[in-house]
Chains A and B, each alone.
Chain A
Amino acid sequence: MAILSAIPIVRHTWAPPEDISTHGHLIDEQLADTMVEAGVAFVAAQIILGIFIWTASSARPDAKIRNFPGGAKGLVAAAVLLVGTEVLALGVFGQKAWASIYFTPPGANALPLQVQAGQFAFYFRYPGPDGKFGPIHPELVNEGNQNYFGLDQTHDQDSKDDIVAAEMAIPVNREVHLLMHGKDVGHSFYVRELRVQQDFVPGLDLSLHFTATKVGRYEIVCTQLCGLGHYNMKAYLSVLSPEDYDAWLKKEQAMQ
């Protein structure tokens, strides 16, 4: 049993992909700490269990029954002390990581960008030169006409220069303020490398902010069960150098 339980120590074979965000190292460190503590607890518990089973099952028939040193009081005290401090430590450090992500407002220079999730694709909207997003009119949504957001570009001044794209491109090392809009059912925005995951709640527009630190092409996937196409609900995130980003934005503008 103990040997079997030791197998999971080899778990480092499957590690999370490389982190590309400014906040991700906090999560990674927290994960590593927890892994050490939980791993030790797990392996130790299993081995002790195995040893005790071995000795107890081979006890001689005339052997006297002995109590565990310290008895129940000792064990309870140990549990409260050890697990209590562990919990407190993990809790406090964990809060720091969480707070750094959720309790700080996005910077003034953050790039505003809207993402909309609908069955079964993500679409992205950039505010264009005026920096303003035009209003969404749900009744105007027409995907056959490529109007994924329900924009009225003939009447709404703010919508005229909005850029809608099927791919998310962001400049490297610049904070992004992601406004999230759910179109139909629940979805989620998950980028493994960014250490970002947040549900879309229909009827409730949430926002996130993060900074990507490495140029590359990554996958955005949906992690909230949304129906038959859930497994194929994804988009790509391109983290580009500022020049490439400007060029990309120009190209997308021409496609509108």
Chain B
Amino acid sequence: MHDTAVHATHHGPPTSFIRKHIFSVDHKVIGKQYYALGLFSVLVGMVLSWIMRLHLVWPNFAIPGLGLLSPAGAPGGVVTPEYYLQLMTMHGTLMVFFVLTNVPFAGFGNYFLPIQIGADDMAFPRFNMMSFWVTFVGACFLFAAFFVGDGPPLAGWTAYAPLSTLGKITGPGEDVGQTLWAISIGIFCIGQLLGSLNFIATTLDLRTKGMTFMRMPLCTWAWFITSCIGLLAFAVLLPACILMILDRVAGTSFFIPGGLVVNDQLQPHSGGSPLLWQHLFWFFGHPEVYIAILPAAGIVSHILVNSYRRPLLSHKVVIYSMMAIGFLSYMVWGHHMFVSGMNPVSALAFSFPTLVITIPATILTLIWVGSLYGSKLRINSASLFALGFVSMFVAGGVSGFFLAQPSIDIYLHATYFVVGHFHMVMGVAAIFGMFAGTYFWFPKMTGRMMNETLGKAHFWFTFVGAYCIFMPFHYLGLAGNVRRYSTFVDDFMGPLMPVHKFISIAALCTGAVQLIFLYNLLHSRFWGKPASANPWEGTSLEWSTSSPPPWDNFGGKHPVVYHDPYQYGIESSTGDYVMQDSPEQIQTVRDDKKLTP
């Protein structure tokens, strides 16, 4: 435990606009910058998904204005097959990298991790600024792909070689667009590596006096575990991206075997392996799922405890479960490749850890649900979204049972079942975590409250909408509906079209509902009710400082921690809770001890 004041308090608050709001080293500003980048990306990604859904059910519908935006991909506003795949690739890349990784991990993590451990900034503030701006440059490269020659890449967010490495001859978007994609993701990895290192160093070194590991709030733990995962995962994706760029521009053949004939032309490559890319990619790709979901799980735990007004049944078990998930996430990447030509024996080897990972996930869920029993639940927008997360986590989790088994995967692989599965567990669940975090921490971040009525309306519409969109995906998959098709040309799909229409309409409505959130966010930012320092009667350190916190978080002091993080459900001078830095003497509510003695 390090309680020495080695912090960067030797310089005063920045004064110039640029140092304060743009090239700021303040972790709170950087957190908000990540959030803003994520918000922009999620809006773009959502519009892309609208266009795709419209095209799937009304393939000849001319979308007004789209023809002007991309005359090559959608002449006259009618989406071409390649444009559909390009939109899909960009949707996936934006959502996975720039939304699901950026917001719950880099965004909220940056803002709250130092505050929750009582530090006044990250361990390496300049690194921190660099990691955001590197990520920003990565985003610029990705968005630039929309405007080059024949548009963004079409090889999917997984960018399977050799489609992604053979170049222009394999199709539109595989020219400059794919190279920009690889550069963008490579740069993104650098940003994440810097960020992860910073998170780890901060958690290890900058905890304030009294903040033992077990006294860290659950979301701090989640960010810490996630940054450990990220450090290993992005360190693999980065060289993979470099190899891909070399294959594309330097004529190497890391991922390209010999004897390939594209468009009647023998390709001048030999000796590489497409499976190498898949292994490298999924070695990153599966942990990436947990990079998206663990911070959300941590945030949700943090919020649930607060709204249950009692500690979770076990603090430690939640932490150990998250660690187990993080560890196991490195042993399961092959379950993405059951039918992609691996040795069939390895499919069995990958199947077991995949099934085993459901055990810690189930424990997490049971703790969330079990702690709800006999609690005094406070219903607000944040807790609704957190409970919605649990519901989605279960819904997306059980479908994982199917896909974890190689024999069932023979039938379900590459169908809409998979699409439904990962959208629920990774997409919707993580986004619910973000919404919960936003409603919960908005008062702290801006000093103003969000509108609760709008927030609850937003939740109900989004919750029902998300089920309406993603549950039918599973039915389609069971019926054998193949994913990544821009149009369903065969008779087989005829009876399934009503389902697709239902999904499209639900997607359009649910997307439109997000305007409520956007309005609430912007309106409350400027005209919301002023927030007190601790509007939710929370216990962790972020509630000990003012809303919003001063630039050095605690106004020159360092809080001293006396208690475990979630001392709710007791009688104290402040009410039914005691803050972590309150010197008040109480009997600590610990794991597995009776709450009422």
Contacts and interface: CB of A to CB of B under 8 A. Distances in A.
Direct contact of A and B (CB under 8 A): yes
Interface string B436-477: 000000000000000000000000000110010001001110
A190 B414 contact: yes
A37 interface: yes
14 contacts: A17-B480, A64-B596, A65-B375, A72-B367, A78-B366, A95-B348, A97-B407, A183-B261, A184-B262, A184-B267, A188-B414, A199-B340, A202-B256, A228-B85
Given A87-B358, A91-B351, A45 B410 contact: no
Contacts of A14: 475-476, 478-479, 496, 499
B111 to A, nearest CB: 29
B570 to A, nearest CB: 9
Interface of B: 80-82, 85, 154-156, 160-163, 166, 170-172, 174, 256-264, 266-267, 272-275, 308-310, 312-314, 317, 339-341, 344, 347-348, 351-352, 355-356, 358-359, 362-363, 365-367, 369-379, 387, 390-391, 394-395, 398-399, 401-402, 405-408, 410-411, 413-415, 463-464, 467, 471, 474-476, 478-480, 482-490, 492, 496, 499, 569, 591-592, 594-596
A99 B528 CA distance: 62
A48 B363 CA distance: 15
B402 A143 contact: no
Contacts of B352: 91
Interface of A: 1, 4-5, 7-8, 11, 13-17, 26-27, 30-31, 34-35, 37-39, 41-42, 45-46, 48-49, 52-53, 55-57, 59, 61, 63-68, 71-73, 75-76, 78-80, 82-84, 87, 90-91, 94-95, 97-98, 101-103, 118-119, 136, 138-139, 141-144, 150, 183-186, 188, 190, 192, 195-204, 206, 219, 221, 223-232, 234
B359 A84 contact: yes
A60 to B, nearest CB: 9
B479 A57 contact: no
B266 A87 contact: no
Given A45-B365, A49-B372, A72-B313, A98 B347 contact: yes
B376 A53 contact: no
A223 B413 contact: yes
Contacts of B463: 1, 4
Given A68-B370, A227-B171, A228-B82, 8 more contacts: A11-B475, A72-B591, A80-B363, A94-B408, A118-B261, A138-B260, A224-B160, A228-B81
B546 to A, nearest CB: 29
Given A59-B377, A119-B170, A37 B408 contact: no
Contact of B162 (A38, A42, A59, A202): A202
A195 B410 contact: yes
Nearest to A196: B410
A56 B373 contact: yes
A43 B279 CA distance: 35
A44 B411 CA distance: 26
B341 A94 contact: no
Given A185-B262, A186-B274, A225-B156, A79 B373 contact: no
A182 to B, nearest CB: 8
B356 A87 contact: yes
A38 B154 contact: no
Q: Which 3 A-B pairs give the minimum distances between C-beta atoms?
A: A203-B257, A66-B374, A72-B314
B490 A53 contact: no
A239 B45 CA distance: 44
A33 B475 CA distance: 17
A160 B472 CA distance: 51
Contact of A56 (B341, B377, B499): B377
Contacts of A76: 314, 317, 363, 366
A227 B264 CA distance: 16
B394 A42 contact: yes
Contacts of B483: 223
Contacts of B401: 34, 37-38, 90
A18 to B, nearest CB: 11
A82 B358 CA distance: 11
A65 B595 contact: yes
A101 B323 CA distance: 36
Contacts, number: 314
A223 B477 CA distance: 12
Nearest to A186: B160
Contact of B339 (A61, A65, A199): A199
Contacts of A42: 394-395, 398
Given A27-B411, A185-B166, A230-B485, A75 B313 contact: yes
Contacts of B399: 38
A186 B171 CA distance: 14
Nearest to A44: B394
A38 to B, nearest CB: 4
A84 B257 CA distance: 42
A19 to B, nearest CB: 9
B48 to A, nearest CB: 16
Residue from A31, A101, A196, A206 having most chain B Cβ neighbours under 10 A: A31
A131 to B, nearest CB: 24
B407 A229 contact: no
A227 B272 CA distance: 20
B155 to A, nearest CB: 7
B261 A98 contact: no
Nearest to A200: B341
A48 to B, nearest CB: 6
Residue from A35, A101, A223 having most chain B Cβ neighbours under 10 A: A223
Contacts of B407: 26-27, 30, 94-95, 97-98, 101
A198 B474 contact: no
Contact of A229 (B81, B358, B413, B479): B81
Given A192-B480, A203-B273, A223-B414, A72 B317 contact: yes
B359 A56 contact: no
Nearest to B569: A65
A199 to B, nearest CB: 4
Contacts of A183: 260-261
A108 B592 CA distance: 63
A245 B467 CA distance: 47
A95 B174 CA distance: 39
Contact of A139 (B266, B371, B387, B406): B266
Contacts of A73: 314, 592
A35 B405 CA distance: 12
Contacts of B485: 230-231
Given A34-B408, A139-B266, A65 B310 contact: yes
